């Protein structure tokens, strides 16, 4: 976000979205108002060093390779849709997205297009002025990015402005519509899943104290619940684990870890609460899972191969 040029000449205030705010704890002594984004030689040296560290880190490359090999923008698994952020929609629940070169991408097509470009950008590390790289940056803070789902990232405002009005980021309507069962069914259908039996399993937004992680008549489950210690003041818990087996689906709530002494004395490290999300009318078999489908496909391949061998004899 380009905001430095909106600072007053004395750096005491800044004008954002038509409102003027007082700057607190400002540190803009090296900012040249004639060219606010030009770095001093010393600053450029720091940036170059950081870029060098990131681009030549063997461990980081290994981790990123793992993410690209095993990760995806969304996952359809055992009749359920797993996604990190949101499916961008307008206030009426209509899918919205991006129009690129005359083609508009919304819903599942938006996810697929963004993932394809993300993978392309990663495969071309020396390219930095192409569409794929631009879209990777857009995924971070773009208003219609499924991984962001907000209108603004107000990091600057939170650092330097005390007025909470400036901190508002404006979440996509998805986040209040996801409490509606019909809206969730619409999303499941968009991702080619059965709306009647499927669930949306959502991450990204920590569940605040007093907020139910199970929504939309049990069809929406939010499992970002505080494994990260800084979030535990907001969530009041130590995270969630979602269990899905032949009997049904359960959400396990974990208590925050405090200290080793407390864990030993009070067994707090093993205190968890299970909540039934859904119970199967009859136990599901392996054949009714994604792994079962893969196994059946392998069986069919083996049968065909066996038939070919018999014909050769």
Give the tens place of pLDDT for each residue, 172-226.
999 999 999 999 999 999 999 999 999 999 987 766 777 788 899 999 998 875 5
Average pLDDT, the chain: 90
pLDDT exceeds cutoff 70 at 289? yes
What phi-psi label fits residue 296: left (phi over 0), alpha (psi between -120 and 50 degrees) or beta? alpha
When mean pLDDT is compared over 97-101, 123-127, 266-270, 306-310, the highest value belongs to 97-101
pLDDT exceeds cutoff 90 at 239? no
Q: CB under 8 Å to 40, separation ≥6 — which residues? A: 30
Per-residue pLDDT band for 58 (boundaries 50, 70, 90) equals very high
Percent of the chain with pLDDT over 90: 71
Distance, in Å, from the CA atom of 228 to the CA atom of 242, rounded to the nearest integer, reads: 17
At residue 282, the pLDDT reads: 87
Task: Give the largest Cα separation in the chain, rounded.
Answer: 90
Percent of the chain with pLDDT over 70: 91
Burial class of 284 by CB neighbour count within 10 A (0 to 12, 13 to 18, 19+): middle
Per-residue pLDDT band for 44 (boundaries 50, 70, 90) equals very high
At residue 264, the pLDDT reads: 76
pLDDT exceeds cutoff 70 at 269? no
């Amino acid at each position: 976000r380009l905001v430095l040029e909106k600072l007053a000449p004395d750096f005491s205030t800044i004008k954002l979205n038509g409102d003027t705010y007082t700057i607190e704890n400002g540190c803009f002594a090296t900012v040249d108002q004639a060219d606010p984004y030009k770095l001093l030689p010393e600053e450029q040296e720091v940036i170059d060093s950081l870029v060098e560290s990131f681009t030549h880190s063997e461990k980081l490359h290994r981790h990123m390779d793992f993410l690209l090999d095993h990760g995806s923008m969304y996952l359809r698994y055992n009749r359920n849709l797993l996604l990190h952020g949101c499916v961008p929609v307008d206030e009426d629940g209509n899918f919205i997205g991006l129009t690129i070169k005359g083609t508009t991408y919304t819903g599942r097509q938006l996810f697929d297009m963004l993932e394809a470009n993300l993978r392309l950008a990663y495969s071309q590390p020396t390219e930095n002025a192409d569409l794929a790289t631009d879209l990777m940056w857009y995924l971070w803070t773009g208003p219609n990015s499924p991984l962001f789902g907000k209108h603004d990232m107000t990091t600057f405002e939170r650092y330097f402005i005390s007025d909470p009005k400036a901190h508002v980021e404006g979440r996509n309507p998805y986040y209040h519509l996801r409490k509606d069962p019909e809206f969730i069914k619409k999303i499941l259908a968009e991702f080619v899943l059965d709306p009647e039996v499927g669930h949306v399993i959502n991450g990204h937004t920590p569940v605040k104290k007093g907020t139910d992680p199970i929504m939309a008549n049990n069809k929406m489950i939010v499992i970002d619940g505080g494994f990260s210690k800084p979030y535990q003041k907001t969530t009041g818990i130590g995270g969630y684990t979602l269990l899905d087996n032949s009997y049904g689906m359960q959400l396990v709530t974990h208590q925050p870890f405090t200290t080793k002494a407390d864990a030993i004395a009070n067994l707090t490290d093993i205190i968890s609460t299970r909540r039934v999300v859904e119970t199967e009318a009859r136990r599901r078999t392996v054949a009714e899972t994604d792994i079962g489908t893969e196994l059946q496909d392998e069986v069919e391949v083996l049968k065909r191969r066996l038939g070919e061998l018999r014909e050769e004899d």
